[in-house]
Structure 1
Amino acid sequence: MPIIGFPVETKPGEKRCALLPANVKAYTLLGASVLIEKGIGEPLHISDDDYVQAGAQVADNRDVLLKKSDIVLALHKLPSSELRSLKAGALLVSYLDPFNESAYIQQLCDADLSSISMEMIPRISRCQKMDALSSQASLAGYVMVMQAANALETVLPMMMTPAGTLKPAKVFIIGAGVAGLQAIATAKRLGASVTAFDTRSVVAEQVRSLGAKFLDIDLGQTGETGQGYAQALSSEQMQIQQREQAKCIADSDIVITTAQLFGRKPPVLIDQKTIASMRPGSVIVDMAAENGGNVVGSVSGETVQIHDVNVIGTGFWANGVAKHASQMYASNVFNLISEFWDKASNQFALDVEDEVLSACVISHQGQVVHKMINDFYQQHGVPMHAKATQMTAEA
């Protein structure tokens, strides 16, 4: 019987995990044995006994779990020092950030480990139930609005009181992807006046359907990738965007930036001059602060004051609602495993020709097998010892 292992997340401050007791039975019904590391649910106030009663076993220690597991499911990638503890040929599933972690991917190849990068799950209808990037981004959009509201010195909704009328807060959201749309919906529910902008004009109707205004900026030819991400703008287009949105930013109480480019540094959208134009006590939330930032001066993991404006770059957004984030991520990884579980052989069938797996499997049989990642390494002069096999992938 294959063993699926679930280790405790080691990233400081992380409360989420890849398994809840409710998921254990589903794995055992597939024909797998579930092995957890002691304390995996402790940050969520879930005891080991809850997992055991659901049908899981508890490993004596982390090293035992890694050595016994045929498949390891986690949120963040395992520390490099632990990769050699895994069985040769074992499958590791987690966020891997393969564009920026080439040395780690090489270690996976050297250890003969197969790996699936959860952020590479393609955005096609078949994969919606596995799309962890979207599920966590949706929660991030909610959390960012709540953090901004907590930092603001005024209320969000309009209030008519005996002491006078309080005007609704003005919220401007840059980027109407999954996180941005959830931020729009949340801010509207809280009674704010919301305006949003996205380089993809096709999302304007989605913004309006949520009750927000769409800021029209003529940037010329723009579009999105096959995965639904916004394409990078030219330097001239970036200047136009910054200039046209500056007036809206200056008039806003809260600005939330969600612009991120997959595998690349996020664009700078707000400069110091624009921040200085905002009213004292206003709030900016920079979703991309951990990866370089959309806002000049934002600090990853911190809230800082710039020209009397609170700039929130704390990151780790979905971790702010860790129980629901864990519920969604655990469901995403189970749906991935069950989609490719072969009942006849009672194991995960890693079919490298499948349109989904070809887009998210990074290493297999000692090689980098993801064509797009391998091409990226070659274009940027990243040395990889193993020659990649040819696999198709969604661009």
Structure 2
Amino acid sequence: MVIAVLRERAAGETRVSATPETVKKLIALGASVTVEAGAGLAASFADADYAAAGARIAQSDAAAGADIVFGVQGPDADLLAGAKPGAWIVAGHDPFAQRPRVAAYAAAGFEALAMEFMPRITRAQSMDILSSQANLSGYKAVLIAANLYGRAFPMMMTAAGTVSAAKVFVMGVGVAGLQAIATARRLGGQVSATDVRSATREQIQSLGAKPIFVESVKGIEGEGAGGYATEMSAEYQTAQAELVSSHIAKQDIVITTALIPGRAAPRLITDAQIATMKPGSVIYDLAVAQGGNVEGSVPDQVVERHGVKIVGYSNTPAQLPADTSALYSRNLYNFVAAFWDKDTGRPVLDDEIGTAIRLTQGGKVVHERLTQ
């Protein structure tokens, strides 16, 4: 049973899908692990560390003979030459945007497993790549915004006078939003937050932040489908826009985190609203790669509009490659270990999770969200 770990080719991708720690654990299960030379360098993991953990280092054709191929982002099909028929391609596949690549996997006879489709159920929590990566993304977003902000974060009382605390507004209280709240609070910010899900009010308060909610129109009482928010009614969107407009003008830093799986990111902040903010304010758009929550945001650039700096990395987790790789690789190990069959010496998926994450099988695209 051979697991191959490929070097990432996507521009700006610094993460790796296995670390020396998880390689050692995979070998302990009974697998053999091949790591492509240089796969972990951008995340500060040397080839020698992988070799010391028991991996074989491949200079070329790393996927040759592989039963399972690991990736952070789905590899192009030509990098899978020599992988066994029916090999699992375990990665974040971005299947809605990468349909031709998914079709190429099917044509080549591979079984593509999209880890971002992992159902949000209790037994799959340790396999959830979206949560593990979003956690650190929310943290990094606040640090980047703080670095761009031309003032101090905490309130400071000095002999020369008082420095006011930065006012931070977090829009979207999922995993990334909660970590953004916690990080901004630790830095000494005065934090408020909003979400379409009414159930997040207590979470916001538990972190010491002020909840800002539309009261006149009902939102989602609990979680949306699969633990995500869903698109709201036009009436709610109008009420939310009015609420945000009055609140955002008073803020120094805004972090937006709203995403709807398989859809363009919802627009939360318009140019007119940006114009009401104080010069020197900062907005970090965590959804910039999916179209952006903020009008005028551009991936991987700092844009200034009306004196406000707008920033968003298309791959925020890649800004913290050592830690995000460590968490991501544990997600993949936990996935393989949970389904490991000692009798056959390989993982065997059950129907619930298999159906949820399997994109291709038997030469066909089989996931219902891609075949409708």
Do both share a fold (TM > 0.5)? yes
Structure 1: gaps of 5 or more residues? 379-395
* Counterpart position of 1:51: 50
* Counterpart position of 1:281: 280
* Counterpart position of 1:10: 9
Q: CA deviation at 1:80?
A: 3.9
Q: CA deviation at 1:32?
A: 0.5
Q: CA deviation at 1:248?
A: 1.1
Q: CA deviation at 1:321?
A: 1.4
Farther-moved stretch of structure 1 (42-51 vs 186-195): 42-51
* Counterpart position of 1:42: 41
Aligned mates of 2:244, 2:234 — CA distance in 1: 16
* Counterpart position of 1:20: 19
* Counterpart position of 1:70: 67
3-state SS, counterpart of residue 39 of structure 1: coil
Q: Give the residue type in structure 2 aligned to 1:365.
A: G
String of CA shifts for 1:246-302, please: whole Å, max 9, x gaps: 111110000111011011011111111100000001000111111101111000121
Cα RMSD of the aligned pairs, angstroms, is: 1.3
Q: Note if 1:322 corresponds to 2:321.
A: yes
Q: Note if 1:220 corresponds to 2:227.
A: no
Q: Give the residue type in structure 1 aligned to 2:323.
A: H
* Counterpart position of 1:385: none
Are 1:229 and 1:261, in contact at CA under 8 Å, matched by a contact in 2?
yes
Aligned mates of 1:28, 1:57 — CA distance in 2: 11
String of CA shifts for 1:139-188, please: whole Å, max 9, x gaps: 00000000000000111100011111111000000000000000000000
Aligned mates of 1:241, 1:149 — CA distance in 2: 26
Aligned mates of 1:191, 1:306 — CA distance in 2: 26
Aligned mates of 1:51, 1:298 — CA distance in 2: 39
- In structure 2, relative to structure 1, the CA distance for the partners of 1:103 and 1:221 (3 Å cut) is same
- In structure 2, relative to structure 1, the CA distance for the partners of 1:130 and 1:119 (3 Å cut) is same
TM-score, normalised to structure 1's length? Answer: 0.91
Farther-moved stretch of structure 1 (328-337 vs 230-239): 230-239
Q: Note if 1:233 corresponds to 2:193.
A: no
Are 1:83 and 1:108, in contact at CA under 8 Å, matched by a contact in 2?
no
Q: CA deviation at 1:100?
A: 2.7
* Counterpart position of 2:154: 157
3-state SS, counterpart of residue 196 of structure 1: strand
Q: Note if 1:332 corresponds to 2:336.
A: no
* Counterpart position of 1:345: 344
Aligned mates of 2:75, 2:364 — CA distance in 1: 19
* Counterpart position of 1:179: 176
Q: CA deviation at 1:82?
A: 2.8
Task: Give the counterpart of 1:129 among 126, 130, 148.
Answer: 126
Aligned mates of 1:222, 1:326 — CA distance in 2: 33
3-state SS, counterpart of residue 89 of structure 2: strand
Are 1:17 and 1:41, in contact at CA under 8 Å, matched by a contact in 2?
yes
Structure 2: gaps of 5 or more residues? none
Aligned mates of 1:221, 1:9 — CA distance in 2: 40
3-state SS, counterpart of residue 66 of structure 1: coil
String of CA shifts for 1:2-53, please: whole Å, max 9, x gaps: 1100011111222210111111221111111010000112113322111111
Q: CA deviation at 1:305?
A: 0.4
Farther-moved stretch of structure 1 (29-38 vs 215-224): 215-224
